[in-house]
Amino acid sequence: MAVLSAAGAGTASATLLHEGSSIFQPADKEVKWPLSEGVHTPKVVLGCPLNADVKQMRRLKQIGVNCVSTGGWNNREASGNLSPWKVDELQGYMNRFKENGLTLINLMHPVGINIVLGRGDRDAEIEVFKESLRVASVCGLPNVEYNFYVDRIVEGYYEVEGRGGAGLAAFDFEKVKDLPPKPEIGKHSAEEIWANLTYFLKAVIPVAEKLGVRMALHPNDPVSQTSHGSDQIMANVAGLKRLITIVDSPSNGITFDCGVTREMGEDPVEVCKYFASRDRINHVHYRNVISEIPYDKYTEVFIDEGQVNMFAVMQELFKHGYNRGLYPEHAHKLDYDLESGSGSRYAGEVFNVGFARAMMYAVMSLG
């Protein structure tokens, strides 16, 4: 463990005291306070509805959040088919955020089941995705996030009591391992899904790269290796590594989730190093967990009490110059939020943002 000390009020010399040492090691350079996010630092983001009102946006600004990541655009028609994003709509959302001091930097786009399962209408759904990428480029949206699930075995989630009675989410695959495939989906093998993902990536990544848009595939979560009888290909690090080789492009990246990585039983710092050194991290989810059985049993705990070395993860991101979105997500159920009756988890988000920014500034203070 290391202890950080910063002396002085204006210009500070950051120092690091290593465990077992009695001397402070001076930083390489002086660091001027106050610190702030910049061109070369990660950008702390929170989720916010695209149609957020001024009050909702002010809440983000008041805790120092300047960027937004969201998945809240329902671009599914009444028929159930996906429709592409529209320039006037997306630009309108982005302009409204800008007017209130916020920047939309990441937006989730659904991937239709016909793409995932390789069904007859997948080419039409791919064209929808490609058109949305063109709209993103026109509007200046830098990153499009997506999932690639056959199905999510969310039935394995349950609530447990954390410190002070806070509500935490936990997962246990043992409770749901025997759930059968859903009739409308069926059972699918890993190589079948890989073939469909490859088809999709080879169609869309060249478009994204030409347009200057990055894409980030979020790992399957829960990370159990099967879901309702089907394999999950994005639920292990080997799958994430294979993903980025299918089309070699910065546009073909991942959402690095250090919590999910620990759920897999992996070392988040080493995994971060692997993908960040290759410039394949296009979005970050920054949260903590306690994993009892890799892949199959874990609890999403407070960001300051889990098994992930959050400081070391932040150091690794800075080391490789990561400067895109960093989402301190999964705010827990706190009494204060419940008593407010608002239905939000704002107090939990405030806690997460404060912790994430403290980690950022600690790394920055080391110079």
pLDDT above 90 (res 13): no
242 and 326 share a domain? yes
86 and 122 share a domain? yes
15 and 124 share a domain? no
Number of domains in the chain: 2
**In CATH, what number is assigned to the domain containing residue 85?**
3.20.20.150
Sole residue written with tokens 């009756």: 341
pLDDT above 80 (res 234): yes
> What is the residue range of 218's domain?
36-365
26 and 145 share a domain? no
5 and 18 share a domain? yes
Residue 1: predicted pLDDT? 43
8 and 105 share a domain? no
66 and 21 share a domain? no
228 and 83 share a domain? yes
At 322-338, the pLDDT tens digits run 999 999 999 999 999 99
148 and 251 share a domain? yes
Residue 61: predicted pLDDT? 98
Instruction: Report d(CA 267, CA 262) in Å as an integer.
Output: 6
150 and 25 share a domain? no
Nearest CA to 108 among 143, 154, 61? 143
Q: Where are the beta strands (DSSP E) in the chain?
A: 2-7, 11-18, 25-26, 31-32, 43-46, 67-70, 103-108, 143-146, 157-161, 167-172, 214-217, 226-227, 230-231, 252-257, 281-285, 288-293, 297-301, 325-327
Mean pLDDT of the chain: 92
Task: Give percent above pLDDT 70 in the chain.
Answer: 91
Instruction: Report d(CA 148, CA 220) in Å as an integer.
Output: 7
Statement: the pTM of the whole predicted model exceeds 0.85: yes
9 and 98 share a domain? no
42 and 16 share a domain? no
